[in-house]
Structure 1
Amino acid sequence: MSTAFLLTTLAMVVTPGTGVVYTLAAGLSHGRWASVAAALGCTLGIVPHLLATVTGLAALLHTSAVAYDAVKYLGVGYLLYMAWATLRDKESLSAEGAAAAPRSAARVIVSAVLINLLNPKLTLFFVAFLPQFVPAGESGSVGALLRLGAVFMALTFVVFAAYGMGAAAVRHRVLARPRVLTGIRRGFAASFVGLSAWLAVA
């Protein structure tokens, strides 16, 4: 496994995107356990993209505009839903919400999985990225792709969990400032809208 692969993967994972935004929101809203659950969900959401790449299903997204647009606009719609839900859910980022029953880990994980699952650009990224680190014509290329994908997923989990834990660490300080909470909630909603627009036009 090359240094170039690890550095490129790390740069890809560290760059804030939909998964990072969701994990930060989970950490601020529900604490450390939720940030880890969100990181796990985002990581699990990579699995279908990796399997699509290995089995060749990614070629369908690449060659079929209808299939690609269908997945893409489902993703756009889900991100817009996340923006609306973030604005509506005023209880999560509040002192009252912190004292209330926490959101279930299953719901956090499912939302995180959907965020990555409905992003066709992740599959296309794997198509363009992973094969570069597997020598052409080498036997066991499928196994090599799976190993590289597993490393990508492991780094995703570690980095996303670190983001979320960092957010959770300042959660109680943030909860004591209602105006800051309102700004953060609007900022997350705006981020989801912006990311949906990027997905729609990119």
Structure 2
Amino acid sequence: MSVEFLLTSLVIVVSPGTGALYTIATGLSQGFRASVVAAFGCTLGIVPHMAAAIAGLAAVLHTSAVAFETFKYLGVAYLLYLAWSTLRERGTLTVEDAGERRNPSALRVTGTAVLVNFLNPKLSIFFLAFLPQFVPANAAGPVPRMLELSAVFMVMTFVVFAAYGFFAAAVRDHVVSRPNVLAWMRRTFAAAFVGLGAQLALADR
């Protein structure tokens, strides 16, 4: 495992994106346990993209405008739905005070987290371009090597996202006890989801 791969992967994982944003939002709204579930779901959400890259299926998204646009706008629609849910104080992004706290459905948080990353066609194309760079040209079996790299990337994703969730959960009580901060937080996350949706909508192959 090269140092270059580890450093590049770390930079990619810690960069703000939809998965990190959702995990932070979940940590603030539901606490640390839910944020770990969200981190796990976001990690699962990149598995199809890695599998597609390894199998070469990501090339379909790269060459087919219809497939790419369809997948892309499904992702945009879902991000806009998350923004609406945040403003409406529904779903896994609802923040409750300690007296009203209910245990969120782990399956629901996981499902949302998986979709956040799954409905992003740029990830498939990214891994198609990213993983092969770290496979030696003379490697006897490139697929096992890419599976190994993918596994390391997934572990790093989970650890970093869980850390995001931990720090978000650590300041949760300070947020829920201040209505103005809570309202600002909802608007900020909603705006961020809209912004990421717009960025995805403008993305080209």
TM-score tier (shorter): over 0.9
Deviations 1:50-71 (A, max 9, x none): 1101111111011101111111
* 1:185 alignment partner, SS class: helix
Does the alignment pair 1:70 with 2:70? yes
User: Superposition pairs for residues 185-200 of structure 1, below 5 Å?
Assistant: 185-200=186-201
Counterpart for residue 10 of structure 1: 10
1:168-190 deviations in Å (ceiling 9; x for gaps): 01101111100000000000000
Whether the aligned pair in 2 keeps the contact of 1:94 and 1:178 (CA below 8 Å) is: no
Aligned partner of 1:108 in structure 2 is 109
Distance 1:163 1:32 in 2: 10
Secondary structure class of the residue paired with 2:148 = helix
Partner in structure 2 of residue 34 of structure 1: 34
Quote the Cα distance in structure 1 between the aligned partners of 2:96 and 2:116: 24
Partner of 1:143: 144
TM-score (norm 2): 0.95
Distance of 2:74 and 2:107 partners within structure 1: 21
Identity across aligned pairs (percent)?
A: 62
Query: Is the CA contact (8 Å cut-off) linking 1:37 and 1:109 kept in structure 2?
Result: yes
The letter of the residue matching 1:108 is V
Q: TM-score, normalised by structure 1?
A: 0.96
- After superposition, what is the alpha-carbon deviation per residue over 1:70-96, rounded to whole angstroms, capped at 9, x for unaligned? 111100000000000011116822326
Counterpart of 1:60 in structure 2 is 60
Structure 1 gap ranges (5+): none
Preserved CA contact (<8 Å) 1:41 1:108: yes
Amino acid at match of 1:34: A
Deviation at 1:137, TM superposition (A): 4.5
| Cα distance in 1 for residues equivalent to 2:158 and 2:96 | 27
Q: Which residue pairs with 1:133 in the alignment?
A: 134
Are 2:79 and 1:92 equivalent residues in the alignment?
A: no
How much has 1:140 moved relative to structure 2? 1.1
Unaligned 5+ segments in structure 2 are none
1:25 aligns with 2:20: no
What amino acid does structure 1 have at the position aligned with 2:10?
L
Please state how far the C-alpha of 1:132 moved relative to its aligned partner. Answer: 0.3
Query: Quick check: 1:121 aligned with 2:126?
Result: no
Counterpart-to-counterpart distance in 2, 1:31 and 1:92: 11
CA–CA distance in structure 1, aligned partners of residues 97 and 81 of structure 2: 24
Q: Determine the C-alpha separation between the residues in 2 that align with 1:39 and 1:123.
A: 19
CA distance in 2, matches of 1:92, 1:159: 23
> What CA distance in whole angstroms lies between the structure 1 residues aligned with 2:84 and 2:131?
35
| Corresponding residue pairs, total | 201
